[in-house]
């Protein structure tokens, strides 16, 4: 029986990348799960119950709080992982994990959520996160060195999977590698449609500058429309400072509270340019539409005037116009749900297993499979 390792960058938060890793591990429960550092209290119940092997970075001061500050240490931790026992290595990578070193003859599949945003889109990153002049001057040479490491690391996987066509194109542009697109899993079973729709818009997001939650806050403040913001992050104080009385910040909430607001909202406001973006499909699975910025991964998940509306420019005026047009539309909750189910966790697991069979010869089932590399393996 072949041994499998799943390597995730870090478990310092619970977002889309972590949900992907959780579903991959659920598909391959005998695989070992490795990472650089983990803040278990922030993870889903399923991941909290899972044995997660961490690196020496777990011993650093407050890793769950300062994980971003340790950005220059991740390459050393990743390259230092002992993966010699494993026949198949699957990396879930939004930054570093693709740089692991496997033994000769093993297969490495990288599920890439995005090439390192902080080195490949440096100007956008420092602008959106509002770094000062001194920080920018100090960061630039460090991130330039990190970019060179990233290019070398990108040569190590045998295969790339991208979460969207947008990311596949970035992999081709930055790394010169081809990628197969497999959209990430949506927990459609978690959400249910509500018989009552209330007159408020919803934001479900980490509160960080690049997600442009400020557009939703200012548009709803200007129009006097109710907005419920669920999520937390470093941008919360700034957003509250520009919010009017119609905007409510609930912070992080448990799933049952999120589900209730998702099923009852008029629509989700999805204002950033995301690499994929799970929230629109989660809202669709609750039978509700989305108003999304026309860019990034939303172009692959939102069907204009069927599952939501687009606004064209990242401006308050453009979003306000879409919100006014939204009032003239009607929505079919059943069709919204059917659309979301195309991206369910079951559909993801089937696509991922098919990829492994086709490209690597590994079978996630119990049957022996003749691999594309001319060997029989059992996973």
10-69 per-position pLDDT tens digit: 999 888 899 999 999 999 999 999 999 999 999 999 999 999 999 999 999 999 999 989
DSSP-derived letter for residue 277 is -
CB distance 86 to 4 below 8 Å: yes
Best CA proximity match to 24, nearest among 358, 272, 299, 356: 356
- Please tell me whether residue 140 adopts helix, strand or coil conformation: helix
**Between 275 and 39, whose confidence is greater?**
39
What are the tens digits of pLDDT across the range 355-365? Answer: 999 999 888 76
Question: Which class is domain 189-341?
Answer: alpha beta
Distance CA 227, CA 343 (A): 27
What is the pairing mode between strands 308-311 and 290-293?
A: parallel
Residue intervals in the chain for CATH 3.40.50.2000: 189-341
Token readout for 300 is 């692959």
What local confidence, expressed as pLDDT, does residue 375 receive? 29
- Give the mean model confidence (pLDDT) for residues 280-301: 95
Model pTM score: 0.83
Cβ contact 364:356 at 8 Å: yes
pLDDT number for residue 122: 59
Spatial separation of the C-alpha atoms in residues 148 and 323, rounded to whole Å: 44
Q: What is the CATH number of domain 4-115+154-185+344-377?
A: 3.40.50
Residue the block writes with tokens 């490209």 = 359
263 and 192 Cβ atoms separated by less than 8 Å: yes
Taking all residues of the chain, what is their mean pLDDT, rounded to a whole number? 90
How many CA atoms, within 13 angstroms, populate the side-chain half-sphere of residue 67?
18
Q: What is the pLDDT of residue 125?
A: 56
Reported as half-sphere exposure (CB side, CA atoms, 13 A), residue 349 has a value of: 16
Q: Which two tokens stand for residue 100?
A: 């692991």
**Alpha-carbon distance 364 to 187, whole Å?**
21
SS3 162: strand
């Amino acid at each position: 029986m072949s041994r499998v390792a799943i390597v995730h960058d870090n478990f310092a938060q619970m977002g889309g990348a972590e949900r992907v890793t959780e579903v991959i591990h659920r598909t391959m429960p005998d695989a070992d799960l490795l990472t650089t550092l983990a803040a278990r209290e922030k993870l889903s119940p399923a991941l909290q119950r899972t044995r997660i092997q961490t690196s020496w970075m777990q011993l650093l001061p407050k890793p769950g709080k300062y994980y971003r500050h340790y950005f220059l240490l991740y390459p050393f931790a990743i390259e230092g992982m002992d993966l010699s026992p494993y026949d198949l290595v699957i990396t879930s990578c939004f930054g570093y994990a693709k740089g692991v070193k496997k033994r000769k003859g093993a297969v490495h599949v990288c599920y890439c959520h995005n090439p390192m945003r902080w080195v490949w889109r440096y100007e956008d990153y420092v602008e959106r996160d509002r770094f000062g002049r001194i920080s920018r001057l100090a960061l630039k040479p460090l991130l330039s060195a990190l970019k060179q490491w990233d290019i070398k690391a990108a040569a190590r996987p045998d295969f790339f999977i991208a979460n969207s066509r947008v990311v596949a194109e970035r992999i081709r542009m930055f790394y010169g590698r081809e990628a197969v697109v497999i959209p990430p899993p949506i927990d459609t079973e978690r959400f249910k449609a509500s018989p009552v729709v209330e007159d408020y818009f919803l934001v479900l997001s980490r509160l960080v500058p690049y997600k442009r939650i400020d557009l939703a806050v200012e548009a709803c403040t200007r129009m006097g429309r109710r907005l419920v913001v669920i999520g937390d992050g470093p941008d919360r104080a700034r957003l509250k400072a520009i919010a009017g009385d119609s905007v409510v910040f609930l912070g992080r909430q448990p799933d049952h509270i999120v589900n209730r607001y998702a099923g009852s909202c008029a629509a989700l406001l999805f204002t950033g340019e995301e690499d994929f973006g799970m929230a629109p499909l989660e809202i669709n699975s609750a039978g509700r539409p989305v108003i999304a910025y026309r860019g990034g991964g939303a172009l692959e998940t939102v069907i204009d005037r069927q599952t939501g509306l687009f606004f064209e420019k990242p401006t308050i005026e453009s979003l306000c116009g879409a919100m006014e047009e939204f009032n003239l539309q009607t929505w079919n909750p059943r069709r919204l749900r059917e659309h979301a189910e195309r991206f369910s966790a079951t559909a993801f697991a089937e696509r991922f297993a098919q990829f492994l069979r086709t490209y690597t010869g590994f079978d996630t089932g119990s049957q022996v499979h003749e691999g594309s590399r001319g060997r029989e393996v059992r996973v």
